[in-house]
């Protein structure tokens, strides 16, 4: 009867420890790293074995009968990892030394150490076997309980007959019942852990999806803004284009009609003047159409670049002839300088180089009311890693209205100007710089801008040598 009382106390203690351990795990250890979880489990299992021994049944001075091996069975079912089980078995065995060192103590240490290795072997089988989970539990419980009884018979200090007839029927039965009870508790614990894990993973997935939705929302809002801007740019472009097309077309239509209707009354000088205006208006229309065609070809990747020898020394004379009249009409000083270090001939596309320079100079004359405009041709060297790169640079500098720093990037986009009022005041479609920038890139170079509002501008075309 005394055996039963002691084993009921052992059972109550182990169940209480299991409950407390479950609470501690849920509210603290569950958030700890995996290594900390394993260490905590080992400590708890060894402590449970020691507590079981403290409240065990003492037979004589040294022999103690208890359920210290049950935490080892629980660990085999909950943490089927060989090294952990060996640590728990040896650890519970060593705690027996706290009750004195004698023959019974050595038997207890040896028994639990052997059970630790047995449980380690069983854990390998549990992890690899395809047998139903509840059958694995039953086999682990039976093997460990029987092995405990065999070890006590083999190494214990209690006479074998006395143990087999008086003690083993109670201890073995209590051990089996308690092990089965804990097997059910562990199953519930593991299902709870599984549910918690699923909830955590679901929350993580939900958080990831929420974050992804937020990112997609930002992207959609940005695209909506871009579409709004594109629509706005399109409207502004159509308005600008209609104005740019209408002005020369009106000149052509009105003056040609005037010549037709008043052919007899117009003198030679008037007819010549009207014809000149019609000719210039036609050239403006042709230039506008060519700009649009060039832009569409660049965007489609179909603009041909024909590289050949380009005589740089001819450029100053050509551009001086082309823009000297405009400079004189606006009262501006216009100079073109060629550095002595510049090679006479470079390999590039002459037509596209002149087109870029004409666009840059045309803008300079358009936005400069007083002062001077200059084109300086020079060379520039830049070290890129182990390579030394050489460039020919065309600097177009003016004393015009300048460009605000925040507008430096936008003016290189198609149909864009630094300010919406510029198109109305100075005219133009905003295509020149965009086309020039694309052409420079196709030629292997680039365009830079240095400008401040009301302080003039300097556009620099860099082409490789």
Q: So what's the pLDDT on residue 337? A: 92
- For the record, the structure tokens of 389 come out as 């790169």
The pTM (predicted TM-score) of the whole model is 0.46
Closest CA to 460 of 389, 368, 356: 356
Please give the pLDDT value at position 414: 58
Residue pointed to by tokens 């020369």? 248
Q: What is the DSSP letter of 413?
A: S
User: Could you give the CA distance from residue 114 to residue 89 in angstroms, rounded to a whole number?
Assistant: 8
pLDDT of residue 419: 52
Helix (H, G, I), strand (E, B) or coil at 373: strand
- What is the rounded distance in angstroms from the CA atom of residue 299 to the CA atom of residue 303? 9
The pLDDT tens digits of the residues spanning 134-150 come to 788 888 888 888 888 88
DSSP H helical ranges for 156-167: 160-162
Residue 395: the pLDDT is 94
269-309 per-position pLDDT tens digit: 777 787 887 887 787 778 778 777 776 777 666 777 888 88
Supply the pLDDT for residue 428. 54
CB-based contact 11:178 (threshold 8 Å): yes
Are the C-beta atoms of residues 456 and 371 closer than 8 Å to each other? yes
User: Rounded distance, CA 333 to CA 346, Å?
Assistant: 28
Give me the tens of pLDDT residue by residue for the chain, a chain 465 residues long. 555 566 667 666 666 766 666 666 666 666 677 788 788 888 888 888 888 777 766 666 656 667 787 888 888 877 778 888 899 889 988 988 888 788 888 888 898 899 899 999 988 888 888 888 778 888 888 888 888 888 888 887 777 788 788 777 877 777 777 777 777 776 666 666 667 778 878 888 888 888 889 898 999 988 888 888 777 766 766 666 676 677 777 777 877 887 777 766 777 777 778 788 788 778 777 877 877 777 677 766 677 788 888 899 888 888 888 888 888 888 899 999 999 889 989 999 888 898 889 889 988 888 888 899 999 999 998 877 778 888 999 999 999 888 888 777 777 765 555 454 555 454 555 677 888 888 898 889 999 999 888 888 999 999 998
Strand partners, 372: 333
């Amino acid at each position: 009867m005394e055996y039963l009382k002691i084993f009921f106390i052992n059972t109550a203690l182990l169940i209480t420890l299991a409950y407390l351990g479950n609470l501690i795990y849920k509210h603290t250890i569950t958030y700890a790293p995996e290594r900390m979880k394993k260490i905590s489990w080992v400590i708890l299992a060894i402590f449970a074995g020691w507590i079981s021994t403290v409240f065990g049944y003492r037979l004589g001075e040294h022999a103690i009968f208890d359920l210290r091996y049950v935490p080892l069975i629980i660990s085999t079912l909950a943490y089927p990892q060989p090294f952990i089980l060996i640590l728990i078995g040896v650890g519970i065995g060593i705690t027996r030394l706290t009750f004195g060192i004698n023959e019974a103590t050595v038997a207890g240490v040896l028994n639990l150490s052997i059970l630790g290795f047995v449980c380690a072997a069983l854990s390998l089988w549990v992890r690899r076997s395809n047998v139903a989970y509840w059958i694995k539990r039953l086999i682990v419980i039976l093997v460990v309980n029987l092995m405990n009884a065999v070890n006590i018979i083999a190494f214990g200090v209690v006479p074998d007959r006395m143990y087999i007839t008086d003690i083993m029927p109670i201890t073995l039965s209590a051990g089996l019942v308690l092990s089965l009870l804990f097997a059910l508790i562990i199953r519930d614990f593991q299902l709870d852990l599984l549910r918690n894990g699923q909830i955590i993973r679901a929350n993580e997935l939900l958080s990831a999806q929420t974050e992804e939705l937020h990112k997609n929302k930002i992207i959609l809002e940005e695209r909506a803004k871009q579409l709004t801007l594109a629509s706005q740019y399109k409207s502004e472009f159509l308005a600008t284009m209609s104005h740019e097309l209408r002005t020369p077309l009106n000149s052509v239509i009105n003056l040609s009609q005037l010549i037709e209707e008043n052919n007899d009354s117009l003198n030679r000088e008037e007819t010549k003047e009207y014809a000149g205006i019609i000719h210039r208006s036609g050239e403006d229309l042709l230039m506008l159409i060519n700009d649009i065609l060039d832009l569409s070809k660049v965007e489609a990747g179909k603009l041909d670049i024909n590289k050949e020898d380009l005589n740089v020394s001819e450029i100053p004379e050509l551009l001086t002839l082309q823009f000297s009249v405009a400079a004189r009409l606006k009262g501006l000083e216009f100079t073109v300088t060629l550095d002595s270090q510049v090679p006479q001939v470079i390999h590039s596309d002459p037509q596209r180089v002149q087109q870029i320079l004409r666009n840059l100079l045309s803008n300079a004359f358009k936005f400069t009311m007083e002062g001077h405009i200059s084109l300086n041709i020079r060379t520039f060297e830049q070290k890129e890693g182990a390579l030394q790169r050489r460039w020919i640079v065309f600097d177009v500098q003016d004393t015009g209205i300048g460009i605000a720093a925040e507008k430096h990037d936008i003016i290189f986009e198609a149909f864009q100007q630094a300010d919406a009022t510029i198109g109305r005041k100075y005219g133009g479609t905003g295509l020149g710089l965009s086309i020039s920038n694309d052409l420079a890139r196709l030629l292997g170079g680039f365009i830079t801008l240095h400008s401040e509002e009301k302080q003039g501008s300097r556009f620099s075309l860099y082409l490789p040598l």
